[in-house]
Amino acid sequence: MDTIELTFPNLHYREPMLLARNMGKTFVDVSAEAGAVFQQPWVARGLATGDLDNDGRVDAVVTTNDGPIHVLHNDTTTANHWLTLRLVGHKSNRDAIGAVVKLSSEHGTQFAVVTTAGSYLSSSDKRLHFGLGQDVAAKSIEVQWPSGIRQTIQNVRGDQILNVDEPSAPSAK
C-alpha cells in the first residue's frame, strides 16, 4: 500500500535496499559503504542473482516499481576461491531443475538445488555457485539428478565454471 504511512507511521512504502555481509554465524549491515543506491528509498520488488560477467563473484539485478533497474556489479577484491557448476540434464530435464548437489572441500560441505526461483517476478542464474574460501579445490561433488541418477566427481579445481553432463548411468564411487 503506497499510503501505509498514514495508517502505520513506523512502516514505509519506500525503503532503502539492505546489503548484508555473511560473517559465518551472523550478518553485518554493509549498506552504508556499498554505494549511493543503498542510501535512497525505493519500491523494489524483484531480485535476480548470478555471475553476470563470469568472474566468480555473484552480481545482482534489482527491479523497482515505476523506476529504474539496478545492476549491482560485484567488484570486491578477494583472495578466496569459487566454483560454478552448470548442470545439463539428458535423462532428466535439460536445465537440471531440481538436481541436488553436495560439494565437499577441505573446510566443509555445502548443498545447493538447481532452480531459477527466488524473488518476485524474477529468475536467477540456474548455475550453482559455491564459495570455496581458501580451498583451491573441491574434494568431491555429488549430484542427485531428478532422474534418480547419482553422479560423483572427485578433486575439482576451483576458480572455474564447470559443465557437468548427466551420465546415462550412475558413476562408480
Structure confidence at residue 136 (pLDDT): 97
Could you report the per-residue pLDDT of 6-26, keeping only the tens digit for each?
999 999 999 999 999 989 899
Checking DSSP bridges between strand 44-50 and strand 100-105, what pairing results, if any? Answer: unpaired
Phi, psi of 160 (to 5 degrees): -155, 160
Amino acid, res. 12: H
Report pLDDT digits (tens) over 81-115: 999 999 999 999 999 999 999 999 999 999 999 99
Q: Can you give the length of the chain in residues?
A: 173
Which ranges of the chain does DSSP label H, i.e. alpha helix? 4-7
Cβ-in-10-Å burial (0-12, 13-18, 19+) of 78 comes to exposed
User: What would the pLDDT profile of 38-57 be if each residue is shown by its tens digit?
Assistant: 999 999 889 999 999 999 99
Q: What is the pLDDT of residue 24?
A: 84
Q: Does 173 score more than 80 pLDDT?
A: no
